[in-house]
Structure 1
Amino acid sequence: MPDTGRSYLAIPGPSVMPDRVLRAMHMAAPNIYEGELHHMVARLKPDLARVAGTAHDVAIYTGNGHAAWEASLANVISPGDRVLVLATGRFGIGWGEAAARVGAVVEHMRFPWGQPVDPGQVEEHLRANAAYKAILVCQVDTATSVKTEIAPIRAAMDAAGSEALLMVDCMASLGCDRFEMDGVGADVVTAGCQKGLMTPPGLAFVFFGPRAAAAERGDAVSQYWDWRPRARPEVFFQNFGGTAPTHHLYGLRAALDMIFEEGLEEVWARHARLSRAVWAALEAWDIGGAFRPTVPERASRAWSVTTVEAGADNGARLRRFVEEKTGVTLGIGLGAERPEAFFRIGHMGHVNAHMVLGVLACIGAGLKALDIPHGSGGLDAAMAVIAE
Structure 2
Amino acid sequence: MAHRSGRHFLQIPGPTNVPDRVLRAMDRPTIDHRGPEFQALGRDVLAGIRPVFGTAQPVIIYPSSGTGAWEAAIVNTLSPGDRVLMFETGHFATLWRNLASKFGIECEFVPGDWRHGVDPATVEARLAEDRGHAIKAVMVVHNETSTGVTSRIPLIRKAIDRANHPALFLVDTISSLGSIDYRHDEWGVDVTVAGSQKGLMLPPGLGFNAVSQKALAAAKANRLPRSYWDWEDMLKANATGFFPYTPATNLLYGLKEAVAMLMEEGLANVFARHDRHAEATRRAVNAWGLEVLAADPAEFSSSLTAVVVPDGHDADRLRSVILERFDMSLGTGLGRLAGKVFRIGHLGDFNDLTLMGTLAGVEMGLRLTGIPHRAGGVAAAMEYLEFGNS
Q: TM-score range by the shorter chain?
A: over 0.9
CA contact (8 A) 2:137 2:170 kept: yes
Identity of aligned residues (%): 38
CA contact (8 A) 1:87 1:138 kept: no
SS at match of 2:367: helix
Change beyond 3 A, Cα 1:10–1:67: same
In structure 2, runs of 5+ residues without a counterpart are: none
SS at match of 1:61: strand
Deviation per CA, 1:163-202: give whole Å up to 9, x if none. 1000000000000000011111111100011000011100
Out of 176, 187, 190, the position equivalent to 2:190 is: 187
SS at match of 2:245: coil
Report the counterpart of residue 114 of structure 1 in structure 2. Answer: 115
- 2:232 counterpart of 1:228: yes
Report the counterpart of residue 68 of structure 2 in structure 1. Answer: 67
Q: How far did 1:134 drift?
A: 0.7
Which segment is superposed worse, 95-104 or 172-181? 95-104
Please, what is the CA RMSD of the aligned residues?
A: 1.6
CA contact (8 A) 2:142 2:171 kept: yes
- 2:265 counterpart of 1:262: yes
SS at match of 1:12: coil
Which segment is superposed worse, 34-43 or 196-205? 34-43
Report the counterpart of residue 100 of structure 2 in structure 1. Answer: 99
Which segment is superposed worse, 16-25 or 34-43? 34-43
Q: How far did 1:231 drift?
A: 2.6
Distance 1:303 1:232 in 2: 36
Deviation per CA, 1:134-177: give whole Å up to 9, x if none. 11001101111110111111111111121100000000000000
Report the counterpart of residue 345 of structure 1 in structure 2. Answer: 344
Report the counterpart of residue 361 of structure 1 in structure 2. Answer: 360
TM-score by length of 1: 0.95
Deviation per CA, 1:236-259: give whole Å up to 9, x if none. 6862x3112111100111111111
Distance 1:113 1:191 in 2: 21
Q: How far did 1:43 drift?
A: 1.6
CA contact (8 A) 2:43 2:240 kept: no
CA contact (8 A) 2:39 2:241 kept: no
Distance 2:125 2:25 in 1: 50
CA contact (8 A) 1:87 1:137 kept: no
CA contact (8 A) 1:77 1:217 kept: no
Distance 1:8 1:114 in 2: 27
Report the counterpart of residue 206 of structure 1 in structure 2. Answer: 209
CA contact (8 A) 2:201 2:349 kept: yes
Report the counterpart of residue 148 of structure 1 in structure 2. Answer: 151
SS at match of 1:85: strand
Distance 1:274 1:74 in 2: 37
Aligned length: 382
CA contact (8 A) 2:195 2:208 kept: yes
CA contact (8 A) 2:79 2:222 kept: no
CA contact (8 A) 1:237 1:243 kept: no
Which segment is superposed worse, 108-117 or 213-222? 213-222
CA contact (8 A) 1:322 1:363 kept: yes
Report the counterpart of residue 197 of structure 1 in structure 2. Answer: 200
Change beyond 3 A, Cα 1:263–1:234: closer
Q: How far did 1:387 drift?
A: 0.5
Which segment is superposed worse, 309-318 or 338-347? 309-318
Change beyond 3 A, Cα 1:120–1:218: closer
SS at match of 2:305: strand
Q: How far did 1:328 drift?
A: 0.6
SS at match of 2:67: helix
Report the counterpart of residue 90 of structure 2 in structure 1. Answer: 89
Matches within 5 A, 1:1-388: 2-129=3-130, 130-131=132-133, 132-217=135-220, 220=223, 221-233=225-237, 239=243, 241-286=244-289, 291-311=290-310, 312-336=312-336, 338-388=337-387
Q: How far did 1:123 drift?
A: 1.1
CA contact (8 A) 1:24 1:254 kept: yes
In structure 1, runs of 5+ residues without a counterpart are: none
Distance 1:267 1:41 in 2: 25
Distance 2:246 2:75 in 1: 21
CA contact (8 A) 1:229 1:238 kept: no
Distance 1:234 1:105 in 2: 32
CA contact (8 A) 1:78 1:217 kept: no
Distance 2:307 2:376 in 1: 17
Distance 1:238 1:103 in 2: 32
